[in-house]
Every structure is written in structure tokens, then in C-alpha cells.
Chain A
Amino acid sequence: MNFHKLIAAGLALAMVPALAACSGGNDAEAGTVITNVSYDPTRELYQAINPAFAADWKAKTGETVSFRMSHGGSGKQSRSVIDGLDADVVTLALAYDIDVIAERTKRLPAQWQAALPDNSSPYTSTIVFLVRKGNPKGIRDWADLLKPGIQVVTPNPKTSGGARWNFLAAWAYGKKAGGSDAAAEQYVRQLYAQVPVLDSGARGSTTTFAERGIGDVLIAWENEAFLAVNELGEGKFDIVVPSISVLAEPPVAVVTENAKKHGTEAVVQAYLEYLYTPEAQTAIARNYYRPRNPEVAAQFKDQFPELELVTIDSAFGGWTAAQKRFFDDGGVFDRISARK
């Protein structure tokens, strides 16, 4: 019966990739392996930094280091670490996501943010506007976003860490302009009423704005805005820096217990400290993040205009409080976006 041969052949064929795969192995990994669980936009950054650190470490100690990189939405990555993803270091978008890991797993100390300089944030960024070339709608500052007919694109703060920075930046402006929380709430309510699409992630919003042609202004991280200008169509967009924004401090931390288990404590500590060296800081600035190192910052000062920046700690009492007040169920964001 031909058919049986057919089945046998089919099964044999199915086994081929499996065998090929098993024998393939992974030759990219040698020596000490560091697992870095990071958020979406840092891929280019760590692609530049990792080999440089590996070379530096090899020169200093003779040890070979290789990396496993995991990128995804900051909140999702944090959940994965909580649920058992074996990260040696986490490099996420906001301190809250690392706080939760510390609180739920006890795999790093609650005071992790004091372990490294500058709140454990080797670089900063801020929230700016991306508008269409020539700024046809004349958008200069936050107030202009409420002009009739302006469509604003920003991701959903319920699902995206980056979107929460955007929301808080808008709130900071509303509070400064109106002088009260009530005025701030009124401002963000009007602002979000002019949002046609709330993508689930920051990069989704950029695509909606840049590729789908939706909206007049995109609220975005500064590094993302630069990336969009340079990679998604040179000469198609302009960056507008508002009068006031938030100081975004994406933090890094060693997941101490995991590093202990893997015996990688020394090397991962050195890895995170390396982020503060002039070499790494230059790579950071080249990837459009604002460097901490004053000399490097001076070198790139044309790229990063100065503006009034509020911090989450001073304006909102830290991430845990801000998360609860604004973004948890029943918080301010739910209130302003509920249909009347």
C-alpha cells in the first residue's frame, strides 16, 4: 500500500529538521553568559555596548563573556522575570517595573536603586513631540495640542510603560499651566479625547503615526523621535521640544539572587558600571539617549536642547504612588477616558 510509504516518508521528513536542530547547537555562546532582560528600544544600544564591554573585560581578566538579550514591553519583561525568566540584569523603562520584581521575588534588595550612581540610571531621556515636516499645524507646546482638529497619537498607558511617561509629562504641563490638580486633570482629559488610536506599545504608536499617516503629532520619547526622524523617513518629520516635560530615568539593576546562582555577580556588576564609562556614555548619546557623564553631555549638547524637566519622585512621589493614583483600575486615567 503506497499510502504507508507516504506516511513513513512524511514522518522521516518531519524528523530531519529536529535532528538538524539538535546537532546544530549554539556556538555563539562561550565563557560566561549574561542574560540581560531589557525593554524594546534598547536593542541598538546594547548591540553597541555589549561587544565593547566583552572586549574590555577580556583585556582586564582574560575571561570571555557573551550575552543573551531579551527585549519586549517593559511591563511584560518585568512579569517574565517575576515568573521565572532567569535574568542576571534587568534594564527596564521605569523604576516601578524593577520595584515590583524586588517586592514580589525578593531576588534583589528593595534598595536596589541606591546600588549605582544617578538613581541607577546611566542615561536619561525626556518626552517630546514629533510632527509632520514643516510643522503645518504650528505646534510649539502642550497648549497647542488642544487646538480644535488636532489629532494626537500616544500609546495606551494601561499597557505601555512609555505611555505612562507621556501621560505624566502632559499632567506636569497641565498642573503648571492651570496651577491645580483639577486643572491638570481637565487638560489630560481634553488631550486624550483627541487621541484616535491608543496603540498597546510605544513602537506601535510610532508606526501608526509614521507609516499609517494618522494624527498631527506623536508624543514620544526623545530617542524614539530621533530614531523615527532618521530611520522612518528623513525629511518627513520634525521634532518639537515643549516648554516642560518629565525627566525619564530608565534604570538598570543586578538581579542579585540570580547572579549568585549563576556565579556571575562580579562580571554583571562590572557590566552595569561599564555603562557609566565615557565609551559607553558616547554610545548612549549616539543612540539618542541623554548621557549622564558631563564631558560626553557637553560634546553632544547641540543634540539635546535644554528644557524644564520634572522628576517622577518630586512631582508624583515616586512610581509606586504614581502607578496607583493614575494608572491602576479606577485611577485617574480610567476616570478621564470613561465615556460620559
Chain B
Amino acid sequence: MNRNPVSESRFARAALITIALLFLALFILLPLFAVFSEALKEGFDDFAEAVSTPDALAAIRLTLIVAAISVPLNMVFGVAASWAITKFDFRGKGFLITLIDLPFSVSPVVSGLIFVLLFGANGYLGPWLAEHDVRIIFAVPGIVLATVFITFPFVARELIPLMMEQGKEDEEAAISLGASGWQTFWHVTLPNIRWALLYGVLLCNARAMGEFGAVSVVSGHIRGITNTMPLHVEILYNEYDFVGAFAVASLLAGLALVTLVIKTVLEWRFNLHHAGARH
């Protein structure tokens, strides 16, 4: 057997794989396993019962609505921002990227607080809203706003490095061949970034469904009306209904896992289909 100059010895390979898997097992699989084992501790029937109470169903519905509104908004923004940042040169680009990253670094407590300070009864816009009977905080719009804030960077963050790497030659070529801006985006850029985009959307969606801290501040915790799944988990946990809490939590984790696995499978099949057809 010939020793490959750009690969490691068998031993090093095995060691690295072992380290990586151990690390992931310890820090990610173990907590995940703890969630599922708590959820199923009393058997599957209790699990099924916990996730089908009216309050749980209302929470699931609200979580899906919030994700369905906030993810597309951030997707459009993410694509637009990455296009502006990677296809053009302008001053203050690093500053703009940092502003996009900003929601990552804001404490979830503060992310909720800012919307209370803005739209709450004593907030800057609160009195005007109250006069016109518009409800933002302690209702669905507030929850959506907080979620959009929290998940704001995900799509853009995923796209910017990739589009920077890809440069703009493809687009320039398409334009010089007479394609319009939209055609270029649709037929040249989009196929190039599709997996990163899908990926960003999935992450954004997972985070949107899982956000707890910020939403907790703006929700008002009204059962069956403004409780999202993570808030419902907290309530059940506080009621010492540990099985119920972990059942709803494992539903969230399961949802995320399923989307991620589907994405992996799609990606794999798509690549098989188009192998060789692309440059």
C-alpha cells in the first residue's frame, strides 16, 4: 500500500474521528439523549398524551405560525443583504456585516426588552398604539418581531462567505450576454447558492421555533393564546410535569433533526443526479 502524501496515517485518522465523535457525543448527543429519555420515561402513551393536550396543540400551532411568518422575511433579507455585500464594493462593508451579526451578541433578555421599551404601554410608541388599539406586545406581532430579531443573521451569515468565495464572474458573464438582473439572479446565482440558502433557512427555522428568552419577555404567557412551544416547556417544567415538558421539548428537537436529515438526503440525491452535469 502506498502512503498518500496528503493524508494522515491510519492511526491519526482513527484518533481524529474518535476525538470528534467523543466530543459530539459528550456535548450534543448526551443532552439530546437526556431529553428523549426523560420524555419517554413513563412510556409512549404519556408522551403522546402530553403533546396532544389543547394547550400543547395551541403552542405548536403558534410556533408554526411564528416560524412561517418570520423565516420568509429573513430569507428575503438575507439574500438581498448578501447580494449587496458580495457583488459590490462600498465603504463600511465590515461595519454593515457586524451590524447584521449584532443580534447574535445581544442577550435574549435584552432582545425582548427592546421591544417592550418600544411598544410597551410605557414605551416610546406605546401610547400611540394604545390610542389606535393596535396590539403588538403580549400578542402574536410582538412574538414575531422578537423571533425575527433573534433569527435575523442566519440566512445572511450562511450566504455571505460562500458568495464572497464565488466572486462575481458568473454574474458578470451572464449580464454581458444580455441577461437581465432578475434572470441572472434566478438562473446563475440561485443555483450556485441553493444549498447554502436552504441550509440557512433551515437553521433560521429551527432557531425561530426554539427561541425562548426573548419571546418569554414579550409573550405575556397567556395559555393557549400567546404561549409558544418553548414557553410551554417551561410552564410544564415549573408544574413538575417533567415528562410533559421533555415530551414537548423532544418534539422540537425531533422536528429539527428531521428537517436536517431531510436536507442531507436531498442534497445527496441532488448531487448524484447532477454529478458531471455541472462544472
Contact = CB atoms under 8 A, between A and B. Distances in A.
B137 A68 contact: no
B138 A1 contact: no
Interface stretch (A12-20, A52-60, A283-291, A319-327): A12-20
Interface in B131-168: 137-138
B137 A83 contact: yes
Given A14-B71, A68-B222, A70-B220, A83 B116 contact: yes
A178 B242 CA distance: 42
A22 B68 CA distance: 12
Interface of B is mostly: helix
B190 A3 contact: yes
B121 A82 contact: yes
Given A18-B68, A83-B116, A83-B137, A40 B222 contact: no
Contacts of A10: 198, 201
B278 to A, nearest CB: 12
Interface residues of A, number: 44
**B122, B220, B239: which has the most chain A beta carbons within 10 Å?**
B220
Given A18-B64, A68-B223, A231 B240 contact: yes
B106 to A, nearest CB: 19
Nearest to A201: B238
A330 interface: no
B225 A17 contact: no
Given A28-B224, A71-B235, A232-B240, 9 more contacts: A3-B190, A6-B194, A10-B198, A17-B64, A17-B67, A22-B65, A68-B223, A83-B120, A84-B130
25 contacts: A11-B72, A14-B72, A15-B68, A17-B61, A17-B65, A17-B68, A21-B68, A28-B54, A35-B222, A40-B238, A70-B220, A70-B222, A71-B223, A71-B238, A80-B138, A83-B137, A83-B138, A84-B126, A84-B138, A85-B137, A105-B121, A203-B238, A203-B240, A211-B242, A232-B240
Interface of A: 1-4, 6, 10-11, 14-15, 17-18, 20-22, 24, 26, 28, 35, 40, 43-44, 68-72, 77, 80, 82-86, 104-105, 201, 203, 206-207, 211, 227-228, 231-232
